[in-house]
Amino acid sequence: MSSVDGLVTGLDTTSIISQLMQLERIPQQRLENRAKLAKSASTELDGLRTSVVGIRTAAATMKYPSAWQPLSATSSSDSVKVTATSGATTGSLAFNVTKVASGEAIYSNQTVASTDTVVAAGGSVFSYSGTKQLGFDKLAATGLNVGDISFEVTQASAAAKTTASALPQPVPLEITGTNNELIFSVAGAGSISLSIGTGEYQSAEELAAAINSAIAATPAAKGVVKAGVDDTGKLTLSTIAEGSDNTIEVTGGSAAAELGWNLTEGVATGTDGIVTVDGVANTITDTTKDTAVTLNASAGSIAAVMSGPMRLGTANTEQVSFGSGTLSEVVSAINNADGLNYGAVAVNTGSGYRLQLTANETGAAATVGIDQSMFTGLSGTPGVDMFKQLTAAQDAEITFEGVNPYSITSASNTFKDIMPGVSATVSAVTTTPVTISSTKDTEKVADAVESLVNDLSTLFARIKQGTKSDVEAGTTGLLAGSSAPRRAQNELQRALLDPVAGNSIISGGAAGITLESDGTIKFDRAAFISAYEADPEGMQRLFVAPDDEVDSTPGILDRISEVAKNASSFGTGYLATAKEAKDNQVNTFNRQVDAYEVRLERRQAALQRQYAALEVALGSLNNQSAWLVGQLGSLSTNSG
């Protein structure tokens, strides 16, 4: 509405109406202030609920047994990093790092002028990784469909093994020139005679070592058989090659009876391996290293050579399409292949480009391979080995030295849980033993409990500030009069400080946790550590109930978790429902403010109409007054 200021009266009606409306708005402003206070209270309740959720999470984490058995681990060498989580035992180990894990990398012998040079023909190439550990190497495919090719050893091969029917008699056994011959027959190698070294042998293990020494000294037996001892202490003879084409039989010799062999046992036969290629099963009857085999697939076949015994597992194999076969296309095709588990790169040597293939992982199974017959553009002599090995695929290995040393391996450089709760990561081969050790870390337990107590203290201080009510001092908190925060504080204090009946340590006070006169919680770290070291089981039971039906009394952490759950859960927790109530208040106040605004707009319009009408009325009176004055003036003139 347009201004009506002083048209007739000269009054500042806009100012008068504004002041009147300010008076009219006082109740609305009070509602707005109440809405703001309710919104602030809702925000504060939500903050308290979030803090309680954090306390609940911390308490739940501390309830795990691992939280009460933390370890601290150290290493004597920078080349071995150790990490400790938790474990029931402590101790130390000394070992040498004899191998570091690596994946295989190979590169082309020849270089080409540019990445646009055609290096492969035929439109696709068979690519593979992880076959060597399964028993197959140097694969080349014919007629396979482009795409993933399944390759899995579903039955492992086994050697032919003959086991003595009795323990060596007697032990210690003396071998002389009259009882030192052992004769056996191996398929493909004929009859072989061994001369065992003379001497007195104290165990079956010493006799097996003597037989292996005789094998190494006998050309016909070397690399063909090996001796061992089974779980019952009986001697064994096994073929190196596996599969049913390999057999072994002890047939005689002056040492046979005393070593425990019954010459009527008969021929032992190896077990065939089975590899399934794209759904087609292939049986391998001889796994002798470098033996050529053909593996049939649903479409086409694969030529390969045996890399050794067949072991269960799956390889990554794929017939990769590479377009016109330029170096850049080959690299792109390999890198875009699904699940091949190695990558390709064109390396600029300064005098040309090499194709390099590198496994994505480490370990003895992280081998790479490609059908080299397709890469005529990388070599001037087709058929020769076109790739050289840059790094070998190998597991990391650590060796424990001593009279009878032993080693353990890992496909990665990390030996997980080498001691309970302790893992070691190696980065370099060592020439002197590395010592790692683990000790119980009481400080970590104290840190966790102190952190929880501090969180509770911070929460209690916030509740105290929010619920204070001192009208005279004008320091009323946002949550004054709200029962939910005080309920949370009281219940959490009781959960923390109430006794735990039947335990050797019955209260938080014995663990260094006390309630001060001002309502704050104090944690005495030294007292806690002393009590924990004196009675770790009792301290753990004070905080956590055991997982059994006999002793189900909740511990401190069990009680805190339950209280925090009841206070903070959405929909049911009393802090959450208190926040919802405040949100409802905010909505109610906002609706009232909006309704007031409509009434105020109507009131202002009415005032503006009244003052406009006043101006009109006064203007009319002024006109009448002027007319009367004129009339009176004319009367005076006529009388004169």
Instruction: Give Cα separations from 489 to 133, 265, 473 (angstroms).
Output: 62, 81, 24
Backbone phi and psi for residue 350, each to the nearest 5 degrees, phi listed first: 95, -25
Which residue's structure tokens are 């062999």?
261
Mean pLDDT rounded to a whole number for the chain: 89
**Greatest mean pLDDT range, 15-19, 25-29, 191-195:** 191-195
CA angle 64, 67, 71 (to 5 degrees): 140
Asked if residue 518 has pLDDT above 70, the reply is yes
The pLDDT value given to residue 183:
96
Q: Cα-atom radius of gyration of the chain, to the nearest Å?
A: 45
> Which distant-in-sequence residues (6+ apart) come within 8 Å of 437 by Cβ?
73, 74, 90, 91, 92, 93
Q: Within 434-571, where are the H helices?
A: 442-467, 483-497, 525-534, 536-543, 556-568
Neighbours of 195 (CB within 10 A): 15
Nearest CA to 485 out of 48, 11, 24, 59 is that of 48
Neighbours of 512 (CB within 10 A): 21
Structure-block tokens of residue 587: 């909505």
pTM exceeding the 0.85 threshold for the entire prediction: no
Average pLDDT over residues 405-427: 94
Asked if residue 585 has pLDDT above 90, the reply is no
Distance between CA 557 and CA 228 in Å, rounded?
A: 56
The pLDDT value given to residue 189:
82
Asked if residue 4 has pLDDT above 60, the reply is no
Chain-centroid distance of CA 253 in Å reads 59
Identity of the residue numbered 54: G
Average pLDDT over residues 348-359: 94
Average pLDDT over residues 333-356: 92
The pLDDT value given to residue 597:
82
Task: Give 527-583 pLDDT, tens digit per residue.
Answer: 999 999 999 889 999 999 987 666 778 999 999 999 999 999 988 899 989 888 888
The pLDDT value given to residue 471:
62
Asked if residue 380 has pLDDT above 60, the reply is no
Distance between CA 582 and CA 91 in Å, rounded?
A: 57
Average pLDDT over residues 329-345: 90
Contact 36, 605 (CB under 8 A): no
Nearest CA to 270 out of 283, 281, 280 is that of 283
Contact 182, 256 (CB under 8 A): yes
The pLDDT value given to residue 307:
93
Distance between CA 117 and CA 322 in Å, rounded?
A: 13
Neighbours of 21 (CB within 10 A): 14
Sorting pLDDT into bands at 50, 70 and 90, what band is 625?
confident
* Range of weakest confidence among 195-199, 410-414, 509-513, 581-585: 581-585
* High-pLDDT (> 90) share of the chain, %: 57
Q: Is 22 helix (H, G, I), strand (E, B) or coil?
A: helix
Asked if residue 387 has pLDDT above 80, the reply is yes
More confidently predicted of 139 and 613: 139
The pLDDT value given to residue 637:
63
Round to the nearest angstrom and report the end-to-end CA distance of the chain.
Answer: 51
Q: Within 324-415, where are the H helices?
A: 327-336
* Range of weakest confidence among 226-230, 269-273, 344-348, 631-635: 631-635
More confidently predicted of 343 and 42: 343
Q: Beta strand pairing status for 353-359 and 105-108?
A: antiparallel
Nearest CA to 310 out of 272, 276, 260 is that of 272
CA angle 585, 589, 593 (to 5 degrees): 170
Task: Give 61-118 pLDDT, tens digit per residue.
Answer: 998 887 888 888 999 999 999 998 776 678 899 999 999 999 999 999 889 999 999 8
> Which distant-in-sequence residues (6+ apart) come within 8 Å of 599 by Cβ?
none
The verdict on whether omega for the bond into residue 70 sits within 30 degrees of 0, i.e. cis, is no
CA angle 88, 92, 94 (to 5 degrees): 145
Task: Give 21-53 pLDDT, tens digit per residue.
Answer: 788 888 888 888 888 888 888 888 899 999 999
> Which distant-in-sequence residues (6+ apart) come within 8 Å of 473 by Cβ?
none
Average pLDDT over residues 339-368: 93
Asked if residue 633 has pLDDT above 70, the reply is yes
Distance between CA 64 and CA 445 in Å, rounded?
A: 12
**CB burial string 358-395: b at 16+ within 10 A, e below:** bbebbbbbbbbbbbbbbbbbbbeeeeeebbeeeeebbb
Asked if residue 1 has pLDDT above 50, the reply is no
Sorting pLDDT into bands at 50, 70 and 90, what band is 473?
low
